[in-house]
Structure 1
Amino acid sequence: MAAVKPADPVAEAPAAQEKASVTIKTPFRAPAAIAAKVPPPVELTAEEKTKYDWLLERARAFKEITVRADAKDPKVPSGPITDDERMWLTRECLIRYLRATRFDEKETEKRLLQTLAWRREFGTEGLTADYISPENETGKQSLVGFDETGRPLHYLEPGKQNTEASHRQVEHLVFMVERVIELMPPGQEKLALLINFKQSKTRKYTAPGMGMAREVLNILQMHYPERLGRALIINVPWVVWGFFKLITPFLDARTVDKLRFNEDMTQYISPDQLSSDFQPQGALKFEYDHAEYWPALNKLCDEVRAERKARWVAGGKLVGESEIYLFGGAEAGIGAAAPAAEVKPEDLKVGELKIEEAKGEEPKAEEAKTAA
């Protein structure tokens, strides 16, 4: 396979970080100094490697993705596995699912197929920036900065809620999780979730309904396993404390261990990466301007997706490809000894599926499904 020189995966953050007086309004890739601190992957034991090899062989044999018979309005029907779905089945993806099932390889195979079906049913690949845009006009979610191990920071500020409960709010969260994964530097697989429950003048009770909360928790735990590195939560009012007590039984014990409440976030995040508006200890002056931030975020993520797709194609379009290679941290993938793959223009297409909001209509509020 012809070696692919990785594009700079750690382009420096804007010069605004160097001057406290300058305000940043757009996201950026991980600075080199932070990307260099991403811990190396944990080596598999001999037994784990045997189970991984079994799972890889099974995943490479996936031919059809079957959506659930009772799926409500699946965005993509059952059918042959696509290139994008095969690219999603990376080495690290398989290992994340193995860890989530405590290396029960047969259960992992089942979980992978369930997630592939769910991604079709939910329409993850078809959620467009234009469709999601109204949900983020106030900046209630933003992606900017990285913690001390290179985890991208995903800010949630429920006090900036600007829409009523609907299925699009769930789609919004999934859309942003997909984007935060695209901002991860090579070798990093987890995100840092920062939640500020500071109340606004118009929003006092900022916790979601129980049904929607359970749906979101089910999505994150079932379809994004081993993605949460740490959750830092501040300004928790008593009513939200009660909400956390209600949802704790639905959380995996390992997830609960990652929650930190009302702590100084600079214990985990360099001040120059932490928004001073979010917590005073931060030194990063970040201001959310939807007209500037939203197109910049999506342009950056479009570029990242195109880069990774090009590497995957050049590497031979292999199931089980290394994310370190795909993310630009290595010059060759796992098929380096194989003949170079022919790259065709049609192979590089990304984001072909679309879900468009009907013009002139507000999306109808839809009662969130209760997770099984």
Structure 2
Amino acid sequence: MAVRLSLTLRHPLLPTSYPIPVRATQFRRFAVQNCVSDSDDSRKLVLEVKEKLEREYSSLPLGRNGRDDEEMILWFLKDRKFSVEDTVAKLTRAINWRREFGVDELSEDKVKEMAETGKAFIHDFLDVNDRPVLLVVASKHLPAIHDPVEDEKLCVFYVEKALSKLPPGKEEILGIVDLRGFRTENADLRFLTFLFDVFYFYYPKRLGQVLFVEAPSVFRPLWQLTKPLLKSYSSLVRFCSVDTIKKEYFTEATLPAIFKD
């Protein structure tokens, strides 16, 4: 109906009998048909992956984030460029990891002690691109003191929480690392690598961008060590200032309190 309506509209200065070019209507028909075809093909591939997982990996759990979760299957298909074999391999690894790590058992209570350090939190508001925001305060991360396993649990819990805040039609979250006050005792190559591994292997295409805010010179050597390990994910990183955060990512009403004057 929308296509038909658009085709009947005429510019007020043109005669009402002004013909619609055949090529334009053919293009519109092709676009609609192509969209339907893509949707049908995606559905077939989702079912193919689902059946393959049931046939070859029946021990994997069912339900949300399990081997029969069609939304999760489609998400991994997109990441693997709709290769069934590659999707099954990566999805199997992710589902096994979720079970071994105990992702579904994580809760506010279980990460409470580490959350109270204030080293990370989920922002109450979305950014200007409607992305949930995961904030990390690097100066409060103390690897010599904090249990690395508990750090990882907090990280995964907040990733899950951020994803639960995705508006309809949105797929990515924004990560912000506040590097003001960063010192050598805050450096943690192991955890930074873990963080990006989590997004690459288990939450692909969910991290839209990572902002490193006000990075001091002492942080640069750590970044140079980490960057090669991240491969293509390093392109998601942007070094920026607090002023950039204010002007490009939030409104005055939604700006995180830590970046307010």
Q: Normalising by structure 2, report the TM-score.
A: 0.74
CA positional deviation for 1:47 = 6.3
Matched residues in 2 for 1:81 and 1:181: separation? Answer: 21
One of 148, 160, 180 as aligned partner of 1:198: 180
One of 229, 242, 257 as aligned partner of 2:235: 257
- The one-character-per-residue Cα deviations of 1:18-66 (angstroms, maximum 9, x if unpaired) are xxxxxxxxxxxxxxxxxxxxxxxxx979568535522333215634896
One of 37, 48, 58 as aligned partner of 1:57: 48
Residues 1:102 and 1:251: Cα distance change in structure 2 (over 3 Å) = farther
Gaps of 5+ in 1: 1-42, 67-77, 281-372
Do 2:114 and 2:154's aligned partners in 1 also have CA atoms closer than 8 Å? yes
Helix, strand or coil at the partner of 1:272: coil
Runs of 4+ in 1 over 6 A off after TM superposition: none
Do 1:146 and 1:273's aligned partners in 2 also have CA atoms closer than 8 Å? yes
Helix, strand or coil at the partner of 1:245: helix
| Match status 1:152 vs 2:132 | yes
Residues 1:54 and 1:88: Cα distance change in structure 2 (over 3 Å) = closer
What is the aligned partner in structure 2 of residue 89 from structure 1? 69
Residues 1:159 and 1:88: Cα distance change in structure 2 (over 3 Å) = farther
What is the aligned partner in structure 2 of residue 168 from structure 1? 150
Matched residues in 2 for 1:243 and 1:212: separation? Answer: 12
Matched residues in 1 for 2:128 and 2:257: separation? Answer: 17
Amino acid at match of 1:251: L
Residues 1:142 and 1:44: Cα distance change in structure 2 (over 3 Å) = farther
| Match status 1:267 vs 2:248 | yes
What is the aligned partner in structure 1 of residue 111 from structure 2? 132
Do 2:121 and 2:134's aligned partners in 1 also have CA atoms closer than 8 Å? yes
Question: Matches of residues 59-138 of structure 1 in structure 2 within 5 Å?
Answer: 59-60=50-51, 62-63=53-54, 79=59, 81-86=61-66, 89-91=69-71, 93-138=72-117
Helix, strand or coil at the partner of 2:200: helix
CA positional deviation for 1:112 = 0.9
Matched residues in 2 for 1:151 and 1:47: separation? Answer: 26
One of 225, 230, 246 as aligned partner of 2:225: 246
- The one-character-per-residue Cα deviations of 1:249-301 (angstroms, maximum 9, x if unpaired) are 12242x33322212411312222111142354xxxxxxxxxxxxxxxxxxxxx
Tell me which of the two structures has the higher relative contact order, counting C-alpha pairs closer than 8 angstroms and 6 or more residues apart. 1
What is the aligned partner in structure 1 of residue 198 from structure 2? 219
Helix, strand or coil at the partner of 1:111: helix
Amino acid at match of 1:89: D
CA positional deviation for 1:186 = 1.4
Matched residues in 2 for 1:65 and 1:206: separation? Answer: 44
Helix, strand or coil at the partner of 1:170: helix
- Comparing 239-248 and 112-121, the one that deviates more: 239-248
Amino acid at match of 1:257: S
Do 1:148 and 1:269's aligned partners in 2 also have CA atoms closer than 8 Å? yes
Helix, strand or coil at the partner of 1:273: coil
Residues 1:128 and 1:268: Cα distance change in structure 2 (over 3 Å) = closer
Question: Matches of residues 268-283 of structure 1 in structure 2 within 5 Å?
Answer: 268-280=249-261
Structure with higher helix content = 2
CA positional deviation for 1:165 = 4.4
Do 2:54 and 2:67's aligned partners in 1 also have CA atoms closer than 8 Å? no
Q: Normalising by structure 1, report the TM-score.
A: 0.53
Do 1:63 and 1:81's aligned partners in 2 also have CA atoms closer than 8 Å? no
Gaps of 5+ in 2: 1-33
CA positional deviation for 1:225 = 0.3
- The one-character-per-residue Cα deviations of 1:155-208 (angstroms, maximum 9, x if unpaired) are 1001123642421111110011011111112111111111101117xx653221
CA positional deviation for 1:130 = 1.8
Matched residues in 1 for 2:164 and 2:43: separation? Answer: 24
CA positional deviation for 1:88 = 7.7
